[in-house]
Amino acid sequence: MTQLIAAICDRGATVITVSDRMVSTADLTLTFEPDTSKATAIGKAAVVLTSGTMHEPDLIVDAQQRARGKDQLREIAEELKQQYQTIRRDRIEEEILKPLAGIESFAEYHQKQRSLYEGLVVDLNERIENYDVGLTIVLAGVDSQGHVGLIENPGVFQSCMRQTCLSGIVIHGQFR
């Protein structure tokens, strides 16, 4: 079980993060602790913590490159959110649309949707709606003040400035 904690302290001037290193399979039959950290610096004063059954280092690397020169945490969160949504879309195309309907992309799916068997469309739409990437991202940092935010399926950013956010196995919040 992954433990990720982010706390805003010193009246918003400091953010502290804590992460374990444990990696496990979804069914918890295999667990190990690699030398790599689940925390990655992104931007000048921000860190990303990750948890979930899916390891997606390219998401963080791509977001790091896109976040260069951006100092506001909201801008970095937007980059992470867009990368998350791109990965989710690509995985849905690869794992649902191609094998089940022989469709290469969402654009093709929307184009052919009216000509497909209704039962297939209902099934595909349900699978797409319920598809979970299996990744949770905590973004923490300081620009003009401390911020903690969460990006989860389906690629939605939630700021945790006014309340404590709890999500599955990820715990983070604000302490005064």
Structural domains of the chain in order of their starting residue, each with its CATH number: 4-174 (3.60.20)
Distance in angstroms (rounded) separating the CA atoms of residues 22 and 169 = 13
**Average pLDDT in the 97-117 region?**
96
Q: Confidence class of residue 171 from pLDDT cuts 50, 70 and 90?
A: very low
pLDDT at 117 over 90: yes
How many other C-beta atoms are found inside a 10 Å radius of the C-beta of residue 35? 5
Q: What are phi and psi of 129, to 5 degrees?
A: -60, -40
pLDDT at 127 over 60: yes
Mean pLDDT over all residues of the chain? 83
Closest to 128 (Cα-Cα) out of 113, 148, 138: 113
Strand 46-52 relative to strand 39-41, pairing: antiparallel
Predicted confidence at residue 120, as pLDDT, reads 96
Top-confidence range, 43-47, 61-65, 92-96: 92-96
Burial class (CB in 10 A: 0-12, 13-18, 19+), 53: middle
Q: Tokens standing for 28?
A: 């918890």
How many other C-beta atoms are found inside a 10 Å radius of the C-beta of residue 65? 10
pLDDT at 50 over 90: no
pLDDT at 173 over 50: no
What is the crossing angle of helices 73-92 and 57-67, to 10°? 140
